[in-house]
Structures are given as structure tokens and as C-alpha cells.
Amino acid sequence: MTLPARSQDPAAPLPDELPLAEAFGPTLQGEGPAAGRPAWFIRFGGCNLSCSWCDSAYTWDSSRYQLREEIRHTPVEKIDQAVPDGALVVLTGGEPLLQQDASAWSRLLDGLRRRGCTLHVETNGTIAPNDRTRELVETFIVSPKLTNAGPHRGRQDPALNPGWAAAARDGQAHLKVVCASAEDVETAVGLARDHGWPQRQVWVMPEGTTVDALNARWPAIADAAARHGINATHRLHVLAWGDKRGH
């Protein structure tokens, strides 16, 4: 997708714009309950956390990236045109739910749904979805951050928002936790239990952005997941394409 020119003030999108980092596809969803399915991705800029191992830090880390070049305020109609009718569309980030109170967010999701698209949202779980977002999104993939994500900046709080309870009960939200060890799997199981998440909707996956790192962690994480009766997922896109943007 070729991004159009930004608004004159990069900090102030117009009412019909959203902060877009990239839109790409077709590719395969590499993780979680939809792993292996053909998908298109819409990645928004901005995040309220600062994970040390983040594989999309270009959406938020101004110490390493020129965010005015990475993120462009893009009209909803241009974003909508980036995906075909009937596609599985994954809204990701950064943290996409930072946009949910903008009228442009609802217009984008409405338009995609009218064209027969299935909408999934990948979120860090710190922000609960509002009623309109829940109405338009089929599945939420909620990825709370464990201590392996490293210390976050300033007053950033990675705690899982209790507002996810209803979506979890209804089967609309899946918990997907990045794990560096079997001990992290234990922590993920406890987190799911404490928040009333059904085991069938709990996923763990290895931390890593290279095939070697993922494969080194995979056996211990898979064993621990099987032992606890929860799901395990690899990162299929990394196995296929490495840590390459656009996949």
C-alpha cells in the first residue's frame, strides 16, 4: 500500500484519519487461534507500553525510529481500500484500541464489515473494548505482558484490564501470552485463572524474532502448555519469512 501525504500537523489527525504505520497482505496469520489463515494486516501507530522485545517498535519508539516517517495520518477510505472484500483483517499495532474512541475508527470497522470482512484485534489488554468495538469485532487476541517484557517507561502499567471479563466469558476474547520459559507458562496459567479466562481460550507462544530463538524455547513451552491443558502456538510468519516487515 502506498501511503498518502500526512496531515500538515503530524500530531493532529483530521476527523477522517487514523495513524497508520503499515497495511499489508495477503499473508498468513502466524500466531494464536487463527494461525495459518490467510489475512491482511492494518497496523496502527502509538502504544501505551514499551516492551523490550517488541517486534513493531517502529510504531512507538521515538528513541530508535523517526515516528513522523513511520506513522502517517491516513484517511479511512484509503485504509479501507488496502484490503479486499471478504478478507480476514487483523487490526494491530502498537496498541490499536488507543483509536477506538475516534469516529474514524468506527467508520473504518463499519466499512470493512459491510464488505464482508472478518475483523480481529490484537491488543495488549490494558484497554477494554467499548460496546461499539465489541459489536464490530469477531475476535480479540489479548496479549498481557509478563516481566519478560522488561521494565516499561514512566508510569506505564501493563496490568490486564478487568473490563475484558465479559468478552472472555462470551468466547470473543482469547488470551495469548509471550513466554520465554516454562515458568512464564505457569504465570500465564495463573493470570488466566485469576481473571476467569476459560482454558480453551488461553494460548502461549515462545518469545523471539529469529527461528533459532523460537525453536530453542518451543519444546519447554509446548510441554508446559500440554501439562496445563492450554493451547500453544508458534510464530509461523517468522518460520516462513524471518523478522521481516510486511509479513
In the predicted structure, residue 9 carries a pLDDT above the cut 70: no
Q: Are 186 and 204 in contact (CB under 8 A)?
A: no
* Domains delineated in the chain: 17-151+158-176 (3.20.20.70)
58-62, 71-75, 134-138, 187-191: least confident range: 58-62
Cis omega (within 30 of 0) on the bond before 94? yes
Q: What is the pLDDT of residue 153?
A: 58
- Are the beta carbons of 67 and 60 closer than 8 angstroms? yes
> Whole-angstrom Cα distance, residue 44 to residue 108?
12
Is 60 known as a binding-site position?
Answer: no
Give me the torsion for CA of 221, 203, 57, 20, rounded to 10°: 160
Q: Is 112 annotated as a binding residue?
A: no
Strand residue runs (E) in the chain: 17-28, 38-44, 72-75, 88-92, 118-123, 139-142, 173-179, 202-206, 231-232
51 labeled binding residue: yes
24 dihedral zone (left: phi>0; alpha: psi -120 to 50; beta):
beta
| Alpha carbons 24 and 11: distance in angstroms, whole number | 24
Q: Does 43 belong to an annotated binding site?
A: yes
pTM of the predicted model over 0.85: yes
- Whether omega for the bond prior to residue 38 falls within 30 degrees of 0, making it cis, is no
Whether 28 has a binding-site annotation, put simply, is yes
The answer to whether 46 is a known ligand-binding residue is no
pLDDT of 5 reads: 44
Residue 30 annotated in ligand binding: yes
Give CB contacts under 8 A, 24+ apart, made by 212-219. Answer: 214/238, 214/239, 217/179, 217/180, 217/181
Q: Is 100 annotated as a binding residue?
A: no
Is 197 a known ligand-binding residue?
no
Known binding residue 80? Answer is no
SS3 of residue 119 by DSSP = strand
The amino acid that residue 38 corresponds to is P
8, 34 in Cβ contact below 8 A? no
78 belongs to an annotated ligand binding site: no
Tens-place pLDDT, residues 88-125: 999 999 999 999 999 999 999 999 999 999 999 999 99
On average, the pLDDT of the chain sits at 91
Q: pLDDT, tens digit, for every residue of 127-151?
A: 999 999 999 999 999 999 887 656 5
Annotated ligand binding at 179? The verdict is no
> Are the C-beta atoms of residues 48 and 126 closer than 8 Å to each other?
yes
